[in-house]
């Protein structure tokens, strides 16, 4: 039995268990030990479901022993961002408000992971209600960057990225509203995908901004991300905004037998037309853009065509994003009144309005800020000035991106304009914090898929490359990402 099972990729775990090289129980106990050992430093987990994980591992081993069928993700330890509901497991959104909330149902993605025999090991830390870019706004304290514990892990899916980088689970699920999967993936040197809007069911994802957000996988390799996508993507009757998984190529080019073909990570695609988004590279810290340019060199030396291009509507992206996101958030978060569920707070002696405002005072500052901004931009007299304008800007961005994809297969740039920074460094300036989302919000506004892959380190801190493709063209992203992965080997497991 290999010594460090916990370091294995999802693909290696599933093969190892299927081929009886080691048992699911051996693997999961190593994972649980690893969490026990390192998570006090990382703080990636809010809840570890030891008992549930061990039980599932036992049942898998039993089925394997009896020669029964097992799913594609058999035994793989998965961490779940704590804004995705798991039946009978506390789901807090890292908020005091949901401290005592136990969902009575599984999110659709959880059902699908369970069907594929993945093992959910626990719930992962995030910024409260996924509002933030560093995982510092959590009731459970900040998640630390496994590459340097003094640094932020990125956010809001900080726990999802850090847990994978620290080998506390093989893969994880995050959610991405404006970069919340890609930002921490970049900061922690892992692969993270924000899929096309409608590609993955949001049923069971606690809404922050419905029209922007998607659940997505994080892993050490492109293949791991692909495996999780194959398990969770596709139309779902519990989310009417989902779409069927469609092939990347125009349907007439695909033989009918391949219509339902899954994503792959083994294509060695050449002659890719890559658009280098000028505005994104110019806006980045020089140490970051240096890494991007060396990635560009690598692509070019491998027969890819890289061409600089411009996306003028980027100037509206942040304003549009924060207007729409906060507007939707202000409405989504209205339901937390502690009447039906929530936290322990006795209503005795309060009149309703007082009780209600006392309850809602338990949101963190960042959440309150966004509720207030969102209520403002929707209010009578300002709706046209802010909310409608934001939608017009969004439409313009969408159109410009559409026309860019007539020319390019993918668009690339840095995932984050800066390197990971120290915990606490940007906490006192919300606007500065919002600005670091500039590169990632575009994909959410346009509804297109985007992936962040590790491309190197600067000052021992990870740098990520963001690749964007046209909607429903996840396969193109995987092709380009796995192509890059094959030519350069970047570390994805932090020593800790």
Q: Please identify every residue annotated as catalytic.
A: 81, 156, 180
Residue reference for tokens 């870019």: 133
To another protein, the closest distance from the beta carbon of 41 in angstroms equals: 30
Cα angle at 43 between 151 and 104, to 5 degrees? 135
Binding mask 283-322 for another protein (x = CB under 8 A): ----------------------------------------
Q: Any idea what the Cα angle at residue 243 is, between residues 438 and 321, rounded to 5°?
A: 20
What's the rounded Cα separation, in Å, for the pair 455 and 297?
Answer: 12
Residues 441-460 binding another protein (CB under 8 A) are none
- Closest to another protein by CB, 25 or 326: 326
In 282-334, DSSP assigns E strands to: 305-309
User: What is the Cα–Cα distance from 456 to 162, expressed in whole angstroms?
Assistant: 17
Instruction: Output the smallest distance, CB 421 to another protein, in A.
Output: 31
Least spacing, CB of residue 380 vs another protein, in Å: 5
**Spatial distance between the Cα atoms of 157 and 171, rounded to a whole number of angstroms:** 13
- Measured from the CB atom, the residue of 13 and 126 that comes closer to another protein is 126
For the bound state, the minimum distance from the C-beta of residue 346 to another protein, rounded and expressed in Å, comes to: 14
Inter-CA distances, 260 with 117, 227, 233, 324, Å: 21, 15, 12, 34
Q: Which one, 316 or 387, has the nearer CB to another protein?
A: 387
End-to-end CA distance of the chain: 22
DSSP letters, 18-78, are HTTSS-HHHHHHHHHHHHHHHHHHH--EEEE-HHHHHHHHHHHHHHHHTT----TTTT-EE
Q: Tell me the closest approach of the beta carbon of residue 51 to another protein, in angstroms.
A: 23
Give the one residue of 9, 25, 134, 203 binding another protein; rule: CB under 8 A. Answer: 203
Which 355-394 residues touch another protein, going by CB under 8 A? 356, 375, 378-380, 383, 387-388
For another protein, the closer CB: 22 or 105: 105
CA 18 to chain centre: 28
Cβ distance to another protein smaller for residue 241 or 358: 241
Site map 27..66 versus another protein, x via CB under 8 A: ----------------------------------------
φ, ψ for residue 446, nearest 5 deg? -90, -10
For another protein, the binding residue among 41, 312, 335, 407 (CB under 8 A) is: 335
Binding-site size for another protein (CB under 8 A) equals 44
Q: Which of 163, 83, 45, 216 is nearest to 91 (CA)?
A: 83
* Distance (Å, whole) CA 484 – CA 314: 26
Q: In angstroms, what is the minimal distance from the CB of 417 to another protein?
A: 28
Binding residue (CB under 8 A) for another protein from 8, 35, 89, 107: 107
Interface residues for another protein in 205-244 (CB under 8 A)? Answer: 205-207, 209-211, 237-241
Q: Which stretch binds another protein (CB under 8 A): 199-207, 272-280, 417-425, 440-448?
A: 199-207
Query: Which candidate, 328, 352, 326, places its Cα nearest to that of 339?
Result: 352
| SS3 at position 455 | strand
3-state DSSP percent of the chain in helix, strand and coil, to 5: 40, 15, 40
Q: Which of 15, 22, 54, 341 binds another protein (CB under 8 A)?
A: 341
Polymer length in residues for the chain: 496
Nearer to another protein by Cβ, of 167 and 177: the residue is 177
CA–CA separation, 222 vs 291, rounded Å? Answer: 20
CB 161 within 8 A of CB 60: no
- With CB under 8 A as the contact rule, the residue among 1, 334, 392, 488 that binds another protein is 334
Q: Which is nearer to another protein, 331 or 435 (CB)?
A: 331
- Residue 91 binds to another protein (criterion: CB under 8 A): yes
Q: Which of 279, 328, 470, 479 binds another protein (CB under 8 A)?
A: 328
The residue (of 231 and 359) whose beta carbon lies closer to another protein is 359
Interface map 156-195 toward another protein (x if CB under 8 A): ----------------------------------------
Q: List CB contacts of 445: < 8 A, sequence separation 6 or more.
A: 212, 317, 320, 321, 324, 394, 397, 398
Q: What residues line the site for another protein (CB under 8 A)?
A: 83-85, 91, 93, 98, 101, 103-105, 107, 202-207, 209-211, 237-241, 327-328, 330-331, 334-335, 337, 339-341, 352, 356, 375, 378-380, 383, 387-388
């Amino acid at each position: 039995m290999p010594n460090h099972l916990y370091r294995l990729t999802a693909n290696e775990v599933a093969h190892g268990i299927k081929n009886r090289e080691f048992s699911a129980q051996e693997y999961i106990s190593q994972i649980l030990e690893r969490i026990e050992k390192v998570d006090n430093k990382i703080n990636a987990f809010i809840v570890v479901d030891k008992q549930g994980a061990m039980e599932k591992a036992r049942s898998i081993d039993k089925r394997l022993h009896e020669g029964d069928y097992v799913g594609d993700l058999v035994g793989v330890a998965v961490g779940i961002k704590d804004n995705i509901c798991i039946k009978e497991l506390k789901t807090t959104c890292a908020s005091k408000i949901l401290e005592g909330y136990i969902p009575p149902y599984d999110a659709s993605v959880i059902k699908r992971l369970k069907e594929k025999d993945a093992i959910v090991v626990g719930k992962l830390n995030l910024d409260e209600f996924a509002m933030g870019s560093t995982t510092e706004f959590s009731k459970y304290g900040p998640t630390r960057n496994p590459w340097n514990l003094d640094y932020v892990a990125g956010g809001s899916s900080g726990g999802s990225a850090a847990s994978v980088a620290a080998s506390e689970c093989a893969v994880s699920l995050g959610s991405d509203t404006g970069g919340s999967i890609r930002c921490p993936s970049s900061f922690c040197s892992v692969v993270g995908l924000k899929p096309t809007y409608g590609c993955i069911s949001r049923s069971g994802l606690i809404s922050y901004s419905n029209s922007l957000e998607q659940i997505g996988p994080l892993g050490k390799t492109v293949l791991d991300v692909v495996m999780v996508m194959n398990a969770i993507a596709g139309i779902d009757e519990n989310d009417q905004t989902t779409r069927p998984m469609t092939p990347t190529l125009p349907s007439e080019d695909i033989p009918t037998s391949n219509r339902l073909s899954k994503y792959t990570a083994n294509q060695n695609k050449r002659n890719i037309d890559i658009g280098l988004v000028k505005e994104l590279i110019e806006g980045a810290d020089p140490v970051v853009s240096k890494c991007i340019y060396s990635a560009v060199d690598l692509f070019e030396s491998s027969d890819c065509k890289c061409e600089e291009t411009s996306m003028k509507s980027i100037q509206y992206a942040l304003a549009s994003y924060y207007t729409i996101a906060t507007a939707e958030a202000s409405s989504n978060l209205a339901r937390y009144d502690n009447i039906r569920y929530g936290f322990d707070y006795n209503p005795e002696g309060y009149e309703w309005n007082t009780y209600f405002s006392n309850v809602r005072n338990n949101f963190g500052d960042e959440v309150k800020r966004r509720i207030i901004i969102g209520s403002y931009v929707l209010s009578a007299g300002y709706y046209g000035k802010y909310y409608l304008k934001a939608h017009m800007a969004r439409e313009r961005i969408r159109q410009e991106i559409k026309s860019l994809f007539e020319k390019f297969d993918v668009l690339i740039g840095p995932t984050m304009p800066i390197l990971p920074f120290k915990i606490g460094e940007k906490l006192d300036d919300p606007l500065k914090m919002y600005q670091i989302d500039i590169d990632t919000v575009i994909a959410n506004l346009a509804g297109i898929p985007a992936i962040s892959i590790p491309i190197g380190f600067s000052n021992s801190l990870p740098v990520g490359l963001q690749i964007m493709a046209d909607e429903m063209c996840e396969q193109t992203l995987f092709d380009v990402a796995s192509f890059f992965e094959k030519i350069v080997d970047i570390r994805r497991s932090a020593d800790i």
